[in-house]
Amino acid sequence: MIVTYLENCLKEVSVDCVIFGFDGSTVKVLLSKWKNIDYWSLPGGRIKKMEALNAAAQRILQERVGLKEVFLQQFNVFGEINRCEHYDELETTKLIEKSIGEDLSKIPIKHRVLSVGYYALLDINKVKAIPDEYTEECRWMELNEIPLLLFDHNEMIDLAIRTLRREVKYQPIGNLLPDKFTLAEIQKLYESVLDKTFDRRNFYKQITKQDFLVKLAEKRTGSANKSPNLYRFDQSKYEQALEAGMGF
């Protein structure tokens, strides 16, 4: 029951997560399809009464993708009175009622909810996305094929990607990569996030002079050509660089 669930949580604030994932070639966003209706939204959740805000975001992320140690950052609070972007409030309420099979008018909470937006970066291949009790499917979607979402979630994604593009110049984004990766992969990652291409040789020169990249003895074999080297992040140097705010 939705009422009992809400009892242990803050009622005026929630958390929504724009979870960016990289699959080796493009950056995608994780969306959830609600039960019984053909509408999607960002994964989100409530903050427990005795839970720190950032801890709540981390828990919600973990519930959805089973991962904790990822880059997760606040980027905006969405606090308009009416946060239904595409459909009006009544229409949205009806959709939610149809989806969860409950009469929302019976629920004593009758006010708008602010939502703290977080964005997360992770490697798609490391996770298995799991729907929550209101949703029946999780899907990674390309940035350019996101449908009309419930609430103000299109706006959230838009602001999250713009924030990421700005921030990426000052922070390494290793959390989107697998533990071991090739230089071509990290280049594709940057190209996908920033939506432009780089000259391979210049990119290699710049990235390899960063000391948080460690060249492994291993190679990725399998294709009909010279095998590319594998690299990994030096965790402590990576964090130092994050701290110092290095750029790329």
Partner DNA sequence: TATTTATGCGTAATTCATACGCATTAAAAA
Partner DNA sequence: TTTTTAATGCGTATGAATTACGCATAAATA
**Using CB under 8 A as the criterion, which residues of the chain lie in contact with a second copy when the complex forms?**
10-13, 47, 49-54, 56, 74, 76-81, 111, 114, 116, 166, 170
Binding site for DNA (CB under 7 A): 182-184, 199-202, 204-206, 208, 215, 219, 221-229, 247
Nearer to DNA, 165 or 205 (CB): 205
Work out what residue 223 binds among a second copy, DNA, none; the CB cut-off runs from 5 to 8 Å by kind.
DNA
Work out what residue 1 binds among a second copy, DNA, none; the CB cut-off runs from 5 to 8 Å by kind.
none
SS3 state at 95: helix
First to last CA, the chain: 48
Nearer to DNA, 139 or 205 (CB): 205
Helix (H) or strand (E) holding 89: helix 89-100
CA distance 135 to 217: 44
Quote the Cα angle for 222-141-168, to 5°: 80
Work out what residue 74 binds among DNA, a second copy, none; the CB cut-off runs from 5 to 8 Å by kind.
a second copy
SS3 state at 73: strand
CA distance 187 to 176: 12
In angstroms, what is the minimal distance from the CB of 213 to a second copy? 25
Amino acid in the structure at residue 225: N
In angstroms, what is the minimal distance from the CB of 75 to DNA? 24
Of 107, 109, 117, the C-alpha closest to 45 is 117
Nearer to DNA, 154 or 229 (CB): 229
Work out what residue 222 binds among DNA, a second copy, none; the CB cut-off runs from 5 to 8 Å by kind.
DNA
Work out what residue 182 binds among a second copy, DNA, none; the CB cut-off runs from 5 to 8 Å by kind.
DNA
Give the strand pairing for 114-123 and 9-22.
Answer: parallel
CA distance 83 to 13: 13
In angstroms, what is the minimal distance from the CB of 82 to a second copy? 9
